[in-house]
Amino acid sequence: MKKALVMLATAVAMSGAFAQASAPAPMAAASAPAAKGHERNVEDRIAYLHSQLKITSAQETQWNAFADVMRNNGETMGQLFQQRRAAGNVSALDDMKQYATIAQAHADGMKKLVDAFDPLYGSFSPEQKKLADVTFHQPGGPNGPGHHGKGKGKGGRAPAAPASDAAAQ
């Protein structure tokens, strides 16, 4: 369960910006630098994928829809993780409920991401499809190498070299 939580926590890296949750003022102020860094990471990921996938001007509308879903997913996940951190000591039952909420939000966000990627992928040239297939097939999928943890996972594959820091959940 802890590994799954780590996987979900790192899912935030692909999606959008942390939004400030309704946490106490000191907590919100302390997390502001982290939120700014996260926003940069998401925007860096979006820029990287735009370049890596060689998005054309004709594909910009579909690309922007995909990038917006990445940002929105990240904002949602950021809020949920912020709330989880602010909750402090919770019972095992409440902890499981929070985890279920995060897992459901992640699943919902991935569905939205797939729905936004489908028309974009359909507009790709054969070369772009190959680039996307390689980029998204790396450990971490749209989030890049190491997204699902370091080292070998259950699949027994080691993460790819960070040469292609591969998409927003």
Length of the chain: 169
DSSP alpha helices (H): ranges in the chain?
2-11, 25-52, 60-87, 92-123, 126-137
Query: pLDDT tens-digit profile of 80-104?
Result: 988 888 888 889 999 999 999 999 9
Query: pLDDT tens-digit profile of 106-163?
Result: 999 999 999 999 999 999 999 999 999 999 887 655 544 434 333 333 333 333 333 3
Residue whose C-alpha is closest to residue 46's, from 15, 19, 73, 77: 15
Name the burial class of residue 98, with classes exposed (0-12), middle (13-18) and buried (19+) by CB atoms within 10 angstroms of its CB. Answer: middle
Backbone angles phi and psi of 138, in degrees to 5:
-65, 155
